[in-house]
Structure formats: C-alpha cells, structure tokens
Amino acid sequence: MLNPDKRSFWLRNYTDQPVGYFLGAPLVNRPIEKYVGVLDSENMGGIRVYQGRGVGGGSLANGGMAVTPKRSYFEEILPSVDSNEMYGTFFPRANAGLGVNHIDQAWFESTDYYQFARVGRKTAERSGFATAFVPNVYDMNYMKQEEAGQVTKSALDGEVIFGNNHGKKSLDKTYLAQAAATGKLTITTLHEVTKVAPAATGGGYSVEMKQIDEQGNTIATKTITADKVFFAAGSIGTSKLLVAMKAQGHLPNLPGAVGQGWGNNGNVMVGRANHAWDATGAKQSCIPTMGIDNWADPAGPVFAEIAPFPAGAELWISLYLAITKNPERAQFQFNSSTGKTELSWQTSQNQPAIDMAKRVFDKINAKEGTIYRTDMFGTYKTWGDDFTYHPLGGCILNQATDNFGRLPEYPGLYVMDGSLVPGNVGVNPFVTITALAERNMATVVANDLS
C-alpha cells in the first residue's frame, strides 16, 4: 500500500486509495502506469465504489473479514429465505468453502502488530461498547509465522487492498481452485460482456463480449451462445448490464425491480487522534480482526471494524470502517444519450450513516478527551462518506429474481452475487453472498441442470 505500482489499480493513471490525504494534503496517491491492476475505484457520481478485479474478484482485494450476519437482521432483510437452512447448512458450508479461521487470541494479546486493535478495544469498552473478534479468510497461522520470520511477509508487510501475495485464502485458492480441479472450468480473462440477448435461433442466449489488452484497449469482439448464463459480476457489474439490456430492448421483459434497491452497506470511515500514551504502533497487520458491536442500539445500529492504518510509523491514529443501518437506497438508470448505466446515489444520502457512527465515536471522544482526525479524507473533512467497499443490491432476491436467483421471463438466466442482497447486511457481506450462492445453486443444480 505504501509503494503501489501499475498492478495496484484497474486501468487508472493515478491511484485512488480510500484514505487519500494526510495532514490535509493529498500526499497518499501517486501516478502509475495504466494497467489491468487488482483494485478498481469506479466513480458513480455521488460515490466511489471499490471492486476487486481479476480471477477471484473482490476476494483478492478485501480485508478477508468473514462475518456471518446476525440472524434476526438477516431474517428482516431476506424474509423469503429459510433462515434455518441458511444457519444450519449454507452459512457453515460457505465458511468451510472459504477457509474461514480465527486468530489465536493469546497471540493477538501479545503481538506488536495488533496494538492498534487493542487500543481500539480499550477505548471502545471504556465507553461501554462491546467488541468482538471476527473470523477471517487470512491464514492466521501463516501470520504468526510471518512475525517469527519463517515465511514471506504479506499481512505484516503492508499488503491488503492491492491483494495479498501470501497468506490469504482468496477465491482463486478455494472455490475456483476446486472448480478448476474438475476439469470442467475454463476461465477467460480480460473479457467484458457487453450484451446478453435471446439467441436468434435454436434457443439459449447470445453473449457478446469485447477482449481487451493489458492497457484496456479493445483488441477483439466475440459472440458465444450459451444455454444458461449466470450473472456474477458483483452488485455494480450485474446491475449495470441488466439495466442496460432492458433499456436497449435486448431483455425487455426483465422485472421493474431490476436496478432497484442499491445500498452501500451503510459504509462510512472515520479516524480519531489518540493521546501519546495510547500509541497504535508503527507495526500494524493489514488484516482487521476486531469490531465494535453496537448493532443492538435502536437509535443507531453500528458494527465498526477497528481498521489498521499501516503507515510504517507511529501516528497515534485509530481508524474505523463503520457499517451502519443506513436506510437510504438508490437506483440504476440507463442514460440513452451516453449509452451508460448510472447510479442515482448522492453523497448526502450517507448522512444517516454519519449520524449513527457519530453516536459511537462522539461518546468515545468525550470519554477519552480526544478529537476526530479531519485531515485523512480531504483538506478538512471528518468522515469518509463518499466511497464504499460493500456495494449491495440492484437485483434483489425474490424481487428482481425469483427466490433462487432466476430471472423471470428468461429461463436460463440467473443472478448469483451481491446484487441479490438488499443494500445492507449489517456486517462485511462476502460470507452472506457466498452462502446465498450455495443455497441458490443447490436448488438450481437439483432442478434446472440435467
């Protein structure tokens, strides 16, 4: 993160890190060669959406936090899904498939690399907030070996948002590796689907795509025909494509709910300035392992990661990624004059998230006699409210699709990603996305595939 090169970002000439400022100046980002790097920051107008690019998608660039949502809230947002099945079968199956594990708590208490998290826990608990360890797909035994100097460092060497070269069980090492081992999987990289429509003859669907080179130039266009097409391009990619296909008349009978109900999982970031006696450590693991759990507060539900800020120096900064119950939603709309699909989200829609997070961090600051950092998200800006790591919704389950991800009116078209989740799941979403895919595919395989 401290020395990004062209491999860091997807087809950009300049990096766009979430915490882009320090001491109020844009000191963090730097020019890079345009290349098909691992992280995309897609500007959707009122919000920048961070998305993983490459074989493994978001799992390549996320912090690995593998949190199963609170059952009561899951039942609230997806009432059509059998929660007994989810919590008895599909969440456990997803956790096993993803390789979820837990940090050695004795090691956590002693290592220099989690001093930042212990300070975050101490200040939260002194203000009456509960904290919780959270599981991860980073191999915690590998991390202990990193500290001992026995293996190549990754999480302990400033690697996370541009991928972990070691230690993390991203999807290319779990689900995709298992699929490849069957001999039935072909992955074709550097291809972008531009059109899906019923095939002119013989049934199935015609799928058009462009092939790009490593600088993003189109070098070929291709068309294939498929009996079944599964949209798994993420909340943004799937929603944008389906909305465009409906508006352009290629899939005109898609439901009106396609493109609706998008949310940012209530994401907002904030930093606090600690006292000199609450040092957060020059050494920091890039993998978060603890959160502040204030979700039960009816006036402002918040689950806040105690996030690392691995600058390689002592900065006395506590950084947090808050997941809030922001009710605001947005819609995708096709702009016929530009030929692009746009998102209606406005930055002002994140004010409820700020208000909920403020209830927690105002209280901590008051108790500790500390202040917010106002120099990390702009020249004088307290809240990181104009970006999200967790895009959700746009093709919500049992609204835009049937109860298992099938697109009505178009047998053989399926949605299997975060666009099924209605805008907010209360925790880091990728275990929920995986478990829903496990559930939906169990039904599709049993009933739709012969």
Q: Please check the confidence at residue 10 and state whether its pLDDT lies above 90.
A: yes
- Classify domain 186-259+392-448 by CATH architecture: 3-Layer(bba) Sandwich (3.50)
Burial of 204 (0-12, 13-18, 19+ CB in 10 A): middle
CA 24 – CA 308 distance, rounded (Å):
19
Looking at residue 23, its pLDDT comes to 85
- 64-164+263-386: CATH topology is Cholesterol Oxidase; domain 2 (3.30.410)
Catalytic residues: 305, 390
Average pLDDT over residues 182-201: 96
Q: Which tens digit of pLDDT belongs to each residue from 38-88? A: 999 999 999 999 999 999 999 999 999 999 999 999 999 999 999 999 999
Residue 25: pLDDT band by 50, 70, 90 thresholds?
Answer: confident
Q: Please check the confidence at residue 22 and state whether its pLDDT lies above 90.
A: no
Looking at residue 24, its pLDDT comes to 85
Phi, then psi, of 88 in degrees rounded to 5:
-90, -30
* Nearest alpha-carbon partner for 148 in 200, 110, 186: 110
What's the CA angle centered on 77, arms 71 and 80, to 5 degrees? 90
Looking at residue 26, its pLDDT comes to 86
Q: Which tens digit of pLDDT belongs to each residue from 239-252? A: 999 999 999 999 99
> What is the pTM (predicted TM-score) of this model?
0.97
Looking at residue 21, its pLDDT comes to 87
Query: What is the residue extent of each domain of the chain?
Result: 64-164+263-386, 186-259+392-448
Q: What angle do the packed helices 91-98 and 430-448 form, to 10 degrees?
A: 110
* Nearest alpha-carbon partner for 386 in 63, 43, 83, 3: 43
